[in-house]
Amino acid sequence: MPNQPAYVWRLPWTDAGKYTTLAESTDPLALGNLMNEHIDSNLRIDACRAALDIQKAVTRFNDARGQCRLGETL
């Protein structure tokens, strides 16, 4: 979109995956979209891992309990 500000973040202390080369040769808006897709993908993966960790923790908790267990109706 013309005349729209573009915001791009960089990692000043590292060149993660040749980011500098990519940033210097890519349109700022396209680079921003690419980075947003990458970050969104990583957040989804992290959320799934967290959900699996919670599920394992509930199972361990329930295995250690008697009558009162998480996720069950008394």
Q: Given a cut of 70, is residue 9 above it in pLDDT?
A: no
As given in the structure block, the two tokens for residue 64 are 């250690």
Q: What is the pTM of this model?
A: 0.53
* Contact predicate 11/19, CB 8 Å: yes
As given in the structure block, the two tokens for residue 49 are 């891992």
| Cα dihedral across residues 38, 40, 44, 47: positive or negative | positive
* Contact predicate 8/23, CB 8 Å: yes
Q: Where are the domains of the chain?
A: 27-64
Q: Tens digit of pLDDT for each residue in 19-71? A: 788 888 999 899 888 888 888 888 889 999 999 999 899 888 888 887 777 77
